[in-house]
Structure 1
Amino acid sequence: MTERRPLAEMPLRVRYHECDGQGIVFNAHYLAYADMAAFEVERALFGSHDALLATGVDVVVAESNLRYFAPCRFDDELVVSVYLVHLGTTSMQFELEIRRGDTVTTEIRLRYVWVDTENYLKAEPPPEVRAAYAKYLPEAA
């Protein structure tokens, strides 16, 4: 089996205001962490979000799924890793893993749809955009 290569890994320290009355990260913040990490992917592949937009496409979230295994708390040092697991004609799928040290606290699956930046209708990404992502597809086992 081939080891997955992350598109990006983003360090993150939990801020006090992200925690709820139980002292753990409020569940909605995990999607914000995923969104921040997705922008880090664009920075790694294209230099910036604006550089991706200049190609004529953007991505929108079409589906999200989160699984929580261990709570995160104020001042925890986390790492959000982003993996590409599917690259379709007009969509792609990321798996994100949030770790505190060696402990996986959260797994997130996001499906993005490519859209044209002028009308925000579903569109195929240009070949150079597709190629930038395709390098990170897991190889067949």
Structure 2
Amino acid sequence: MDDFRFSHCLKVRYSEIDGQKIVFNAHYLTYIDVAVTEYFQEGLGLDLNSSDFDFVLAKSTLEYKNSAHLNDWLNIWCKMSTVGTSSMVMNCMITREGEDTPILIAEIIYVSYDPETKTTRPVPKYVRNRIEEFEGGSL
């Protein structure tokens, strides 16, 4: 966990488990999405309602290591590892509260996006600066 400067905690709800009584696989992406939103808002202090910065999911790679169950408290750890011209790579890990063993490891690639033109655009300099400052170095 030492490599991660940000985590968000949530509890597994009944509607998120499947017939095997474990979290249905697609919900892990929702957990990551919630945590990434908090990363930008809480961690970086950015207003995601701002019209000058938006991003979309380009690729997600999930590696399932274990299963989460009803009422588990989960920590979703987020770390931005790379900021390119228009793309950003976020590494995520989900653990059970109080445990270090990963339930899931993910690499998520986002692209800076202009909703008006529906095209990619460069990551704004102020966003890049906040990420580098928060993560503790040049990315």
- What TM-score do the two structures reach when normalised by structure 2? 0.88
> Counterparts of 1:87 and 1:26 in 2: how far apart (Å)?
31
Correspondences of 1:99-114 after superposition (within 5 Å): 99-100=95-96, 101-102=98-99, 103-114=101-112
* Deviation at residue 130 of structure 1 after TM alignment: 1.2
Tell me what 2:21 maps to.
23
* Deviation at residue 46 of structure 1 after TM alignment: 2.8
SS at match of 1:10: strand
Structure 2 portions without partners, runs of 5+: none
Pairing 1:120–2:118 present: yes
Distance 1:123 1:135, change over 3 A: same
Contact 2:80 2:89 in 1 (8 A): yes
> Counterparts of 1:98 and 1:63 in 2: how far apart (Å)?
18
Contact 1:71 1:105 in 2 (8 A): yes
Distance 1:84 1:91, change over 3 A: same
> Counterparts of 1:137 and 1:46 in 2: how far apart (Å)?
13
Report the count of equivalent residues. Answer: 134
Contact 2:87 2:123 in 1 (8 A): no
Runs of 4+ in 1 over 3 A off after TM superposition: 136-140
> Counterparts of 1:21 and 1:117 in 2: how far apart (Å)?
38
> Counterparts of 1:33 and 1:120 in 2: how far apart (Å)?
26
* Deviation at residue 116 of structure 1 after TM alignment: 1.7
Correspondences of 1:64-83 after superposition (within 5 Å): 64-83=60-79
Distance 1:86 1:138, change over 3 A: farther
- What TM-score do the two structures reach when normalised by structure 1? 0.87
Structure 1 portions without partners, runs of 5+: none
Contact 1:86 1:137 in 2 (8 A): no
Percent identity (aligned) = 33
SS at match of 2:69: coil
